[in-house]
């Protein structure tokens, strides 16, 4: 059953009261908290970015001033995001990788303290960390697809490490505990590629290493592929059930869930999404605007876990899934 905003509005004032009671009873049964990814569909909260082309066309000092203003604006947007999530009982917020725009670009990147407002930028992000803590909102990162630790190209690995170090710096400010990446490519030999992944770990700083997680994907690496790496290297597995359904292995959802949970030394984090055209559609990897509650694994209901909702309707989809789970 799809419960959309219009249906809720027509239900009158009694339904929200009933819903609150149902949500409280759900919270008593489990500690599932749902997470919002990066942006909003309806809330007037916007993160700002720029392009390399725009920065390249400016003298260095005006470019740094522009980047400084964008970083300040994004710190303020993050603060509003965390307040919104806290008010709506959304338990996690994922930051966009470009919250500090073009931070690691090899030619136009910068250190935060090189910016005109560097100290104020850090102060505002640290204030976000305090708000997240006070509101009970977990924060995390999911670096872009170009972050590949097992690439056979040294330059790709170098750029990947630089990106991870930058995001770990911000993660320290805001008290984020997860920086989640994919396994990378297979490059014709999965085991050799995973060996390169493991070797790259020694090059990461402690603040990256203690936050780093790895996620099964919908094409290459299944939970069965990654779990040995997770156990050997002490890396938590972010279990994506949609990816597992698209790229299955010998594990059931229940088995993959159980084995993923064991890799965590803090509250596990999972991902959920639904296929745009249904599971019998031509391209089940594409994400729907909302989550079909039938896609929510029953074995997750009583876990203490963070579940990031990867749906195009963003905060609307998160709140709707919360309501659907409560009603069930």
Amino acid 137: pLDDT? 98
Mind listing the pLDDT tens digit for each residue in 59-114? 999 999 999 999 999 999 999 999 999 999 999 999 999 999 999 999 999 999 99
d(CA 89, CA 84): 9
Please, which pLDDT band fits residue 1 given cuts at 50, 70 and 90? very low
pLDDT, tens digit, for every residue of 209-256?
Answer: 999 999 999 999 999 999 999 999 999 999 999 999 999 999 999 999
Instruction: Output the CA–CA distances (angstroms, integers) from residue 235 to 35, 179, 183, 191, 203, in the order listed.
Output: 21, 11, 12, 17, 15
Is 12's pLDDT higher than 70?
A: no
Backbone angles phi, psi at 270, to 5 degrees: -125, 170
181, 197, 226, 299 from 190: Cα distances, Å:
16, 10, 10, 30
Mean pLDDT of 301-309: 96
Q: What are 154-192's pLDDT values in tens digits?
A: 999 999 999 999 999 999 999 999 999 999 999 999 999
User: How many beta carbons lie within 10 A of that of residue 182, not counting itself?
Assistant: 24
pLDDT-above-90 percentage for the chain: 88
The whole-number pLDDT of residue 5 equals 34
Whether residue 22 is predicted with pLDDT greater than 50 in this model: the reply is no
pLDDT at 197 over 70: yes
- The confidence score (pLDDT) of residue 21 equals 40
pLDDT given for residue 31 in this prediction: 84
> Across the strands, what pairs with 308?
35, 271
Mean per-residue pLDDT over the chain, rounded: 91
């Amino acid at each position: 059953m799809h419960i959309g905003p219009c249906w809720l509005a027509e239900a009158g004032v009694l339904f929200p009261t009933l819903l609150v009671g149902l949500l409280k009873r759900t919270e008593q049964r489990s500690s599932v908290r749902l997470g919002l990814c990066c942006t909003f569909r309806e809330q007037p909260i916007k993160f700002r970015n720029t392009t390399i082309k725009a920065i390249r066309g400016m003298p260095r000092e005006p470019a740094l001033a522009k980047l400084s203003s964008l970083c300040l604006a994004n710190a303020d947007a993050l603060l509003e995001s965390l307040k919104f999530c806290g008010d709506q009982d959304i338990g996690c917020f994922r930051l966009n990788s470009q919250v500090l725009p073009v931070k690691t670009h090899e030619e136009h990147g910068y250190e935060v303290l090189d910016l005109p407002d560097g100290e104020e930028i850090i102060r505002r992000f640290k204030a976000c960390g305090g708000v997240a803590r006070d509101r009970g909102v977990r924060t995390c990162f999911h670096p872009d697809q170009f972050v590949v630790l097992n690439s056979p190209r040294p330059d790709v690995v170098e750029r990947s490490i630089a990106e991870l170090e930058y995001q770990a710096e911000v993660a320290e400010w805001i008290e984020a505990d997860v920086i989640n990446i994919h396994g990378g490519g297979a490059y014709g030999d999965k085991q050799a590629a995973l060996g390169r992944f493991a070797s790259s770990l020694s090059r990461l700083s402690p603040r990256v290493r203690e936050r780093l997680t790895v996620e099964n994907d919908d094409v290459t690496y299944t939970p069965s592929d990654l779990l040995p790496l997770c156990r050997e290297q002490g890396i938590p597995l972010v279990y994506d059930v949609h990816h597992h359904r698209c790229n299955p292995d010998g594990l059931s959802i229940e088995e993959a869930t159980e084995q993923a949970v064991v890799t965590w030394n803090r509250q596990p984090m999972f991902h959920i999404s639904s296929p745009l055209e249904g599971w019998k559609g031509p391209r089940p990897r594409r994400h729907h605007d909302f989550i079909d509650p039938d896609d929510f694994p029953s074995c997750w209901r009583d876990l203490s876990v963070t579940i990031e909702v990867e749906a195009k309707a963003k905060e609307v989809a998160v709140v709707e899934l919360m309501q659907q789970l409560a009603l069930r």
